[in-house]
Amino acid sequence: MSVLSKSQRGPALAGVLIALFLILFLVVPVLKVIYVAFQDANTGAFTIINFADFFSSSLFRESFYNSVYVAGMSVVIATLIALPLSYFTTRFNFSGAVLIQTLGIIPLIMPPFVGAVAMKLLFGSNGSVNLILDEWFGINIPFMEGLNGVILVQSIHYFPFILINLSAALNNIDRAMEESAQNLGSHGMRLFRKVVFPLAMPGYIAGAALVFIKVFDDLGTPLLLDVNKMLAPQAYLRISSIGISDPMGYVISVILIVFSLLSLWVSLAAMRGKDYATVQKGGGGLAKRDLRPWEKFGCYAVVIFILVLVLSPHLGLMLLSFGTIWSYSILPDAYTFDHYIKVIGSASQYITNTLLYAGLAALFDVILGTAIAYIVWRTKLVGRKWLDYGATMALAVPGVVLGIGYLRTFYQFDVPLVNEPLATWWVIIVIALTIRRLPYALRACVAAIQQVSIMLEESAENLGATKRRTVWRIVIPLMSGGILAGFITSFATASVELSATIMLVARESDAPLAFGIYEFMQSAAGRGPGAALGMIAVVIVGLGTYFSHKVIERTEKKRSAARPVNEEA
Amino acid sequence: MNMHPPQSSDVVIEDLSLSFGETEVLKGINLHIRAGEFFSFLGPSGSGKSTLLRAIAGFGPTPKGRILIGSEDIAKLPPWERNVGMVFQSYALWPHMSVAKNVAFGLEERKLPRAEINTRVMEALELVDMAEYAQRRPSQLSGGQQQRVALARTIVIEPRVLLLDEPLSNLDANLRVQMRRDILALQRKLGLTTIFVTHDQEEANTTSDRMAVLNDGILQQVGSPMTLYDEPANKFVAGFLGTANIFKGHVETTGRTNMFVSEKGTKIKVADKGKNATLIVFRPQNAEILPPEESCDKDRICFDGKVSEVEFLGNILRYKVESGGEAFLVDHNHQPGEHVFAVSDRVKVELNPDQIIFLDK
* Mean pLDDT score across all residues of chain A: 81
* Mean predicted confidence (pLDDT) in A72-78: 94
Contact (CB<8Å) B95/A201: no
Q: Does A279 touch chain B (CB under 8 A)?
A: no
Q: Which of B109, B140, B157, B195 to mutate to test the interface with A (most CBs of A within 10 A)?
A: B109
Q: What is the pLDDT of residue A217?
A: 87
Contacts A177 to B, Cβ<8 Å: 92, 94
Which of A167, A183, A122 shows the shortest CA–CA distance to A149?
A122
Is A102 touching B (CB cutoff 8 A)?
Answer: no
Q: What is the mean pLDDT of residues A335-356?
A: 79
| pLDDT value for A134 | 76
Residue of B nearest to A179 (CA): B59
Give the pLDDT band of residue A4 (cuts 50, 70, 90).
low
Could you tell me if A194 lies within 8 Å of chain B, comparing CB atoms?
Answer: yes
More confident residue, B283 or A478: B283
pLDDT given for residue A5 in this prediction = 65
CB count within 10 Å of CB B27 equals 15
Query: Which residue type occupies A434?
Result: T
Instruction: Output the DSSP codes for B82-150.
Output: T-EEEE-TT----TTS-HHHHHHHHHHHTT--HHHHHHHHHHHHHHTT-GGGTTS-GGGS-HHHHHHHH
* Percent of chain A scoring above 70 in pLDDT: 93
- What is the dihedral sign for C-alpha A348, A354, A360, A363? negative
In A, minimum Cα distance to B89 occurs at A176
The dihedral of CA A239, A244, A249, A254: what is its sign?
A: positive
Whether the Cβ atoms of residue A516 and residue A418 lie closer than 8 Å to each other:
no
Cβ-Cβ contacts under 8 Å between A and B: the total is: 77
pLDDT of residue A568: 31
- pLDDT higher than 50, residue A565: no
Judging contacts by C-beta atoms under 8 Å, the chain B residues touching residue A198 are 94, 96
Residue A465 CB burial class (10 angstroms; 0-12, 13-18, ≥19): middle
Report d(CA B302, CA B300) in Å as an integer: 6
- The more confidently predicted of residues A58 and B194 is B194
Say whether residue A40 is in contact with chain B using an 8 A CB cutoff: no
User: Residue A364 burial (CB < 10 Å; 0-12/13-18/19+)?
Assistant: buried
Inter-helix orientation angle A527-562/A476-494, to 10°: 160
pLDDT, average across residues A194-221: 86
Residues forming a β-bridge with B304: B348
Question: Which segments of A421-526 does DSSP mark as H helices, in order?
Answer: 427-450, 454-462, 467-470, 476-494, 501-504, 513-521
B90 vs A contacts (CB less than 8 Å): 174, 176, 278, 280, 283
Sign of dihedral through CA atoms A104, A110, A115, A116?
positive
Closest-CA residue to A347 (of A539, A121, A537, A494): A537
Residue of B nearest to A184 (CA): B106
* Residue range A297-332, pLDDT digits in tens: 888 888 888 888 888 888 888 888 887 777 767 777
- Distance in angstroms (rounded) separating the CA atoms of residues B103 and B118: 10
CB of B357 within 8 A of CB of B229?
no
Mean pLDDT of A333-345: 75
The minimum CA-CA distance between B6 and chain A, rounded to whole Å, is 24
Contact between chains at A280 and B153 (C-beta distance less than 8 A):
no
Res A337 pLDDT > 80: no
Question: Residue A519 has what pLDDT?
Answer: 81
Nearest to B109 among A185, A199, A274 (CB): A185
Q: What long-range pairs does A42-47 form, CB within 8 A, spacing at least 24?
A: none
Per-residue model confidence (pLDDT) at position A203: 82
Please report which confidence band the pLDDT of residue A260 belongs to, taking 50, 70 and 90 as the band edges: confident
CB contact set of A184 (below 8 Å; sequence gap of 6+): B80, B85, B105, B106, B109, B153, B154, B157
The ipTM, to two decimals, is 0.77
A283 vs B57, B83, B90: nearest CB? B90
DSSP character for A413?
-
Mutate to test the interface with B, among A172, A175, A178, A180 (most CBs of B within 10 A): A180
Examine the pLDDT at A10 and tell me if it is beyond 90. Answer: no
Residue B227: predicted pLDDT: 94
pLDDT at A166 over 90: no
Residue A421 backbone dihedrals phi, psi, to 5 degrees: -65, 145
Interface touch A183/B90, C-beta < 8 Å = no
Contact B106 A185 (CB under 8 A): yes
- What is the Cα–Cα distance from B317 to B254, expressed in whole angstroms? 38
Q: Could you tell me how many residues make up chain B? A: 361
- Per the CB < 8 Å rule, is B106 touching A184? yes
**By the CB < 8 Å criterion, does A284 face chain B?**
no
SS3 B187: helix
> Contact at 8 Å (CB) between B53 and B165?
yes
Residues of A in contact with B105 (CB under 8 A): 181, 184, 186, 194
State the number of CA atoms in the 13 A half-sphere of A206 facing the CB: 18
User: How much is the pLDDT for A450?
Assistant: 82
Alpha helices in chain B (DSSP H): 49-57, 99-109, 114-127, 143-155, 173-190, 201-207, 225-230, 235-240
| Cβ-based contacts of B56 with chain A (< 8 Å) | none
**CA distances to A75, A287, A537, B95, B142 from B92, in Å:** 32, 14, 49, 9, 14
Residue of A nearest to B150 (CA): A180
Q: What's the pLDDT tens digit per position in A181-190?
A: 999 988 888 8
Helix or strand holding residue B289 (H, E): strand B287-290
**Cβ burial A86-123 (10 Å sphere, 16+ → b, else e):** bbbbbbbebebeebbeebbebbbbbbbbbbbbbbbbbb
pLDDT band at A270 (very low <50, low <70, confident <90, very high): confident
**Residue A523 pLDDT > 90:** no
Digitized pLDDT (tens) for each residue of chain B, 361 residues in all: 344 444 577 999 999 999 988 889 999 999 999 999 999 999 998 899 999 999 999 888 889 999 999 889 999 888 888 899 999 888 888 888 899 999 999 999 888 999 999 999 999 999 999 999 999 988 889 888 999 999 999 999 999 999 999 888 888 888 888 999 999 999 999 999 999 999 899 999 999 999 999 999 999 999 999 999 999 999 999 999 989 999 888 888 887 788 888 888 788 888 877 788 889 899 999 999 989 888 877 788 888 899 999 999 989 999 999 988 888 999 999 998 888 999 999 999 998 888 888 888 8
DSSP tally for chain B: helices H, then strands E: 8, 20
A188 to chain B: nearest residue by CA?
A: B80
Note whether A184 contacts B105, CB cutoff 8 Å. Answer: yes
Order of strands, sheet of B346-351, starting from the edge strand that comes earlier in the sequence: B287-290, B346-351, B301-312, B316-323, B326-333
pTM: 0.77
**Candidates A182, A184, A195, A274, partner chain B, best to mutate (most B CBs within 10 A):** A184
Contact assessment for residue B224 and residue B230, using Cβ atoms and an 8 Å cutoff: no
On the question of pLDDT at A281 being above 60, the answer is no
Q: Which three-class secondary structure state does DSSP give residue A398? A: coil
Amino acid at A105: I
* Residues A166 and A84: beta-carbon distance below 8 Å: no
Asked if A201's CB is within 8 angstroms of B90's CB, the reply is: no
* Candidate from A13-17, A344-348, B242-246 with smallest mean pLDDT: A344-348
pLDDT of residue A333: 72
**Residue B217 DSSP class:** T
**Out of B80, B94, B139, closest to residue A182 by CB:** B80
Q: Which residues pair with B321 in a beta bridge?
A: B307, B328
Residue A169 at interface with chain B, using a CB cutoff of 8 Å: no
User: Which sign does the torsion angle of CA A497, A502, A506, A510 carry?
Assistant: positive
The answer to whether the CB atoms of B95 and A278 lie below 8 A apart is yes
| Residues of B at the A interface, defined by Cβ within 8 angstroms | 57-59, 78-86, 88-90, 92, 94-96, 105-106, 109-110, 139, 153-154, 157
